[in-house]
Structure 1
């Protein structure tokens, strides 16, 4: 299949492009490079022997999208493009709604004009808010999100759900990620956040490699085994394989398909610190800070539905996540090399 991958040079998008190529599909990449680098194309080509067709532009530019659909016989779209930092979304809500909600609506309109009605949307477990119980199933209540980022994902889910109600020949898949971490095992692709990392694992990695002094652990008094927050961390390669499974199972199968992508297991912040210390061979410095407003004690997925319907299950544990992240970070101590040709 020929698959348009929006945000295809970002963290999850780039790993998914590799898995698409390795499994016989042809990704067509579009990205505005607001939180990614064009040289990621070189890395994808080095790993797969194929260089994806790349289009530089914004998902909110309908004429630009129309031109891509006119140039390529696209079979399906995997939609990653969007802003993703929870904290930043609080200070920049309009930018988040414009990018994430408006961008998705523009994309859907362009797809409809082109007659492409297969979309896999990069959603988030944040749509569940503070869960009433764990593990979280796809039927758990949604919408009680605590920040503009989470609300933007929830709104897009609602927009796409309403689209399917109105036009039931679409195949719309909503993949609700838990906490993506890890890197390609080659050490060639990984997470390269711009500025101070917003997520736990890249911050740990930057402490381990000497870019930052210590990790701030927010709260050690939660009702969890060691007092720190518990989350469901999923290896980015397992996540990429989840997209591939959804693409293979659901393309041209009309319906509104909703799946959690996680491991079904919770790991605490200190579990992750200890796993990473083992992977890099030295302790990762951290200090305890007060809880942050809006943080929840624990959150992990029920993955039974994805396993049953898609034949997909995460297979990599936190030791592998840590080892692959360290391989990436130690090979790329400053992230992607700006000077790479």
Structure 2
């Protein structure tokens, strides 16, 4: 009996040591309120942006010229939460995946697409084109194996048993876009599963943080013959000017009033996501929306002084390989005639 008690005590001690060995979550990090973590997981990495741009693949299809670039992306703006979890040892990749999938479905998830088999090309396109863990804050600790080997948390996501799910969650008009990816953590020797969650919630950008100086517009035109109108805002894929564009329109109208001889092109630009024909129409329609706003009340600029043009992705100012570059390329410029 004494030996039995000693055995139980030893097992209890080992269990306690195992529990203590699990690293702590990223300091200050927490689950997203919409989606709780798989039981027993630890939050190994996080990046939260109160307002930013993000993208998810629209389909699992790739460009013909490059199988590691998606055929089409959904460009999003709002509050962006990105999380990486490591599930407890002993849980299979499929078990973790099914639990997340079932929880999402029970909450009314609307699937855009999913991949559960042969998803390695999807993984490589996603990591190379969208760099999902860029700018992450990582917890202290590593991904360890039963044999004592260790791997960096930055290598947590892999193509091994990888599965991806993309869709929306929430009430109509307030849907958050969710991307879920799960795989073996680092490699098969760890016996662990990594899960990535990206949640983009629609949210209006805080405005009034930047003022537009008409003199700065004039200086740009004088120096380069063109100036980027950073204060014009459109919803993704839309052509209607958002209300927060008023300060930029005010400055443009003031500039045109102060320079009565000035004639200009209003030129729309896009990134290279989607077909050229669609982007050409979008860029032109946005330029037309700006001209329409300036020639209508209260500005009433002479329509003969402004001409809209759309160049789609023909004149990029940055590479289109990542979201930061694509965001710079989506712009409207004022170009002196």
Place the TM-score, normalised by the shorter chain, in its bin: under 0.3
More helix by share: 1
For CA contacts below 8 A with separation 6 or more, give which structure has more relative contact order: 1
- Based on CA coordinates, which of the two structures has the bigger radius of gyration? 2
More strand by share: 2
